[in-house]
Amino acid sequence: MASKFYAQVARTRCVSCGACTHECPRDAIRVWKGCFALVDPLRCIGCGKCKKACPADCIDMKLREADA
Amino acid sequence: MKKSKKWYDYLWIWSILYFTLGFFNILFAWLGMIDFLLPLLLALFGGDKFFCNHLCGRGQLFTVLPRALKCSRGKPAPAWLSSKWFRYGFLLFFLTMFANIVHQTYLVYAGASSLREVVKLFWTFRVPWGWAYTAGTTADWVAQFSFGFYSLMLTSTLIGLIVMALYRPRTWCSFCPMGSMTQLICKAKHRGEQPE
Ligand code: SF4
Ligand code: SF4
Ligand code: SF4
């Protein structure tokens, strides 16, 4: 299921709580060394579930460059 | 894709159990020190937020409750709640309040103050809680710390439940003092490193 979108984390605003990681159906987002969340754009299907769960509202859905 | 559950995915039960035990016997409040020390130890020696990400019963409770009871509006919280100044300001306030509990405990230990069998909610409202402690069971200072620490745990959970209902389920986590502290430790430990 490809999507035009992928999730991108604003690292400076991320509180590294991990709420996003529990929602992702593709295991495409993880917390990097307790500092911030990191998305694997190749795995991400752009479903936006992580964004909806993020308490710091620091995830944005970006249009993939190839499609932009 | 359904993720397989691990034993620690059920730690939200521990959160409920903690407050239930403390309701009947305040001395159980001491068990909350696990939630205070373990995140720090894991961050200091493990260099990550394994506690927040997997072991925190409170964070799980804020996820499980809205799923079961549909009790969160799911709206984004105001940005200032997760801003650096608020997070670190709240952390400082929280640590000051913790220091105050330790100070009160010391006063009781030193005989300069007597044991107060109350739970103080939101650092303001004194709720009599005498049924949860029989005088003389332990040293008074042990009980004093229990009342103080239980107050802190209950107050922070109530704040968490309020923001859970008003905004997204885990809004508390965006300014939780333990979360802020462990993230600070991790950032200090991994300064200069970049993800591969
Ligand atoms: S958008 Fe969906 S697939 Fe992509 S990281 Fe977020 S939850 Fe995972
Ligand atoms: S939910 Fe938001 S704040 Fe929490 S780790 Fe994920 S991106 Fe960061
Ligand atoms: S931020 Fe606080 S409440 Fe949230 S998971 Fe971490 S320790 Fe638990």
Mean pLDDT of the region A54-68: 87
Instruction: Judge residue B1's burial from the number of C-beta atoms within 10 Å of its C-beta, 0-12 exposed, 13-18 middle, 19 or more buried.
Output: exposed
Residue with tokens 């809205």: B66
Q: Which residues neighbour B113 within 8 Å (Cβ) at sequence distance 6 or greater?
A: B104, B107
User: Does residue B132 fall inside a structural domain?
Assistant: yes
Question: Which domains occur in chain A, in start order?
Answer: 5-63 (3.30.70.20)
User: Would you place residue B69 in the very low, low, confident or very high pLDDT band (cuts 50, 70, 90)?
Assistant: very high
User: Does residue B131 fall inside a structural domain?
Assistant: yes
Residue B195 pLDDT > 60, yes or no?
yes
Q: Contacts of residue A57 in chain B, CB cutoff 8 Å?
A: 76-77, 79, 82, 168
User: Does residue B194 fall inside a structural domain?
Assistant: no
CB distance B190 to B47 below 8 Å: yes
Please give the span between the terminal C-alpha atoms of chain B, in angstroms, as a whole number.
27
Q: What percent of chain B has pLDDT over 90?
A: 96
- Mean pLDDT value across chain B: 96
Name the nearest CA neighbour of B72 among B63, B81, B60, B85: B63
Residue with tokens 């944005």: A60
Residue A2 pLDDT > 80, yes or no?
no
User: Does residue B1 fall inside a structural domain?
Assistant: no
The predicted pLDDT at position A67 comes to 52
User: Does residue B2 fall inside a structural domain?
Assistant: no
- Based on the structure, what is the number of domains in chain B? 1
Six-digit token pair at B42? Answer: 């894991």
Residue B3 pLDDT > 80, yes or no?
no
- For A38, the closest chain B residue by CA position comes to B195
Is some CB atom of chain A closer than 8 A to the CB atom of B69? no
Instruction: Judge residue B189's burial from the number of C-beta atoms within 10 Å of its C-beta, 0-12 exposed, 13-18 middle, 19 or more buried.
Output: middle
* Cα–ligand 1 centroid distance for A62 (angstroms): 11
ipTM of the complex: 0.92
For residue A22, give the nearest of B63, B74, B179 by CB distance. B63
pLDDT tens digits along A12-46: 999 999 999 999 999 999 999 999 999 999 999 99
Specify the pTM: 0.95
Residue with tokens 């970006």: A62
User: Does residue B97 fall inside a structural domain?
Assistant: yes
User: Does residue B141 fall inside a structural domain?
Assistant: yes
Residue B2 pLDDT > 70, yes or no?
no
Q: Which residues neighbour A41 within 8 Å (Cβ) at sequence distance 6 or greater?
A: A6, A28, A64
Instruction: Judge residue B182's burial from the number of C-beta atoms within 10 Å of its C-beta, 0-12 exposed, 13-18 middle, 19 or more buried.
Output: buried
